[in-house]
Chain A
Amino acid sequence: MTKEKREIIIFSIFTLAVLIIPFFLRGSYYLNVLVFIGINTLLAVALNLLLGYAGQISLGHAAFFGLGAYISGVLTTRFGLDPWLVLVIAAAASGSLAFIIGFPILKLKGHYLAMATLGLGIIMYIIFNETVAVTGGPSGLSGIPNMHLGALIFDNDMNNYYLIWIITLIVMLLSINLSQSRIGRALRAIHNSEVAARVMGVNARILKVQIFTVSALISAVAGSLYAHTMTFISPASFGFNFSVELVTMVIIGGLGSIYGSFLGAAILTVLPEFLRVLQDFDIIVYGLLLIIMTMYLPGGLINGLQKIVEFAAGKVGKRGGSGA
């Protein structure tokens, strides 16, 4: 009970912080960064459900992000469909793709699953690049319309901020709920010992496919929002590098923690701004970061943060009735 209450309080504080932050910011640069953090949080949460909870790696998640973006981009620019309708179509299409390929692909484990998802990412990347007539190829697709809500058009950073963050907050809340339910426990059970989970009656095969589908669906929503926010997309944003970046976000933030995903997404969105001076060598910093994290803080930053808070609380409270 207390744990549940604490969860509600943490989420309320987080939501409040997200909602009021824009009032303290001057200039659209910071808002713009926050918009990207929102989109990346959405993606990191999606991947975390698969990687952090179910323990299944995907090195091709940029494919679902790209699929969402391109379906939205193509259907709005070429067929003039409504952005909201297109968002739903993109999510459904990406989810369906994941569902269909999930059955054969998720039979694989470990390195083999990594290779298969890597292949998926590369195939999609090639499709985005080569189907020039549809996607515009390497030079990209421009003129994608902004989202709208009646007369309200999401064409500035402030509006986009709220659009993306409200959706991100909803997805975070749903994911937290899911992680604390029987489904979340079953996923973690599969992660810990698939054979024991199955013996306990968890249909690991179906559940893995289901969570892969949900993950792809959320990624496509992120892709769709990205397309309508940027109004321009090109294949470069959906390549192998970005898939790896997503995995890095999830691991740095904390496997199996929704807030960790936010933290990881925030850091990996902001970091490039500071690493510009290094130019192409910035990838070395990511590599080092990943090595250091997995060696010294395998639970991710969120875990380190929790330890610091617990330590501080312990000092202040002096063993004063710590719950859990």
Chain B
Amino acid sequence: MLRIKNITKIFGGLTALEDVSFEVKDGSITGVIGPNGAGKTTLFNIVTGLYSQTSGDVYLGDKNISFFAPETLAGMGIVRTFQNVELFSEMTVLENVMVGLHTKSKSGIISCAFKLPGQIKEEKYIKEKAMHWLEFTGLADHADIEAANLPFGKGRILEISRALAVEPQVILMDEPAAGLNSLETSQLAMLIKRIRQSGITIVLVEHDMELVMNVCDSIVVLNLGKKLAEGTPREIQENQEVIAAYLGEG
């Protein structure tokens, strides 16, 4: 599905990522873990078009999608959530998800201003579909609340709902459990599994090891910008190098 091939990213004199390669299988949940500063978020920023890599390529299926703009990638079905929750805070919960349907609709300025028949129909579709995603994630009761007024945990779920509205092939989630309590984290784990069941591939950057080991099919470990290990949760747990990196030896 998604192939990361020899990605290197250098910021000035700092090598954030060095020759990182791995593959995300269709329909899988892949975890990307590593200590702080390992380059996980940088990798996400490259895959979603926010940063340009210094060298290497990203493939979606057989297509080289290196250097594509974020909005183009969204249209192709790659979407992400953010570590610091980037909601449209002054818009309602429903409107946030409706923005997620931007690529699924096409009325331009003229047809929107004049409310042409096609636009009215499309607007109805957008609203219904957005409501559908809120029901899927359990936020439907909060539809008319301004996003800024949502509790933090619900904000994280809203970000995921909004990403789902894009009807992506792949969702990249950047620390979705950060700041959640244990109940919220277990609900998140169930939601992630349900999303995968609907056929969407998931890539997860996460520090919560319990969550990672619970939901992921395969795990990639980054350390200091390099790929340290790759394998199933069990293999990673038993990998001496990984343990060393986390305990701060090596």
Contacts and interface: CB of A to CB of B under 8 A. Distances in A.
Nearest to B168: A201
Contacts of A177: 112-115
Nearest to A203: B71
Given A175-B113, A182-B112, A183-B108, A199 B123 contact: no
B206 interface: no
Contacts of A214: 109
- B80, B113, B122: which has the most chain A beta carbons within 10 Å? B113
B89 to A, nearest CB: 6
Given A177-B114, A201-B166, A196 B102 contact: no
Contacts of B228: none
Interface stretch (B92-100, B188-196, B212-220): B92-100
Q: SS class of chain A's interface: helix, strand, loop or mixed?
A: helix
B100 A200 contact: yes
A121 interface: no
Interface residues of A, number: 29
Nearest to A323: B144
Contacts of A202: 71, 99, 102
Contacts of A184: 112
A209 to B, nearest CB: 11
B108 A195 contact: no
Given A181-B119, A188-B91, A192-B90, A200 B99 contact: yes
Interface in A303-324: 324
B67 interface: no
A75 to B, nearest CB: 26
A202 B163 CA distance: 13
Given A189-B88, A189-B91, A202-B99, A196 B112 contact: no
B36 interface: no
Contacts of B89: 192-193
Interface string B52-86: 00000000000000000111001100011010001
Contact of A196 (B87, B90, B115): B87
A118 interface: no
Contacts of B113: 174-175, 177-178, 181
B117 to A, nearest CB: 13
A198 B107 contact: no
B50 A195 contact: yes
Interface string B109-133: 1001111000100110010000000
B105 interface: yes
B185 interface: no
Contacts of B101: 182
Contact of A192 (B74, B75, B88): B88
A194 B89 CA distance: 12
Contacts of B69: 198, 203
B114 A200 contact: no
Nearest to B95: A185
Nearest to A199: B70
- A192, A204, A210: which has the most chain B beta carbons within 10 Å? A192
Nearest to B159: A196
B137 interface: no
A200 B123 contact: no
Nearest to A183: B112
- A177, A189, A204: which has the most chain B beta carbons within 10 Å? A189
B162 interface: yes
A204 B122 CA distance: 21
Nearest to B111: A181
A181 B114 CA distance: 10
A324 B145 CA distance: 9
A182 B105 contact: yes
A74 interface: no
Interface string A123-156: 0000000000000000000000000000000000
B48 interface: yes
B91 A192 contact: yes
A195 B45 CA distance: 11
Interface of B: 48, 50, 69-71, 74-75, 79-80, 82, 86-91, 95, 98-103, 105, 107-109, 112-115, 119, 122-123, 126, 144, 162-163, 166
10 contacts: A177-B113, A182-B112, A186-B99, A186-B102, A192-B90, A198-B69, A199-B74, A201-B102, A202-B102, A204-B71
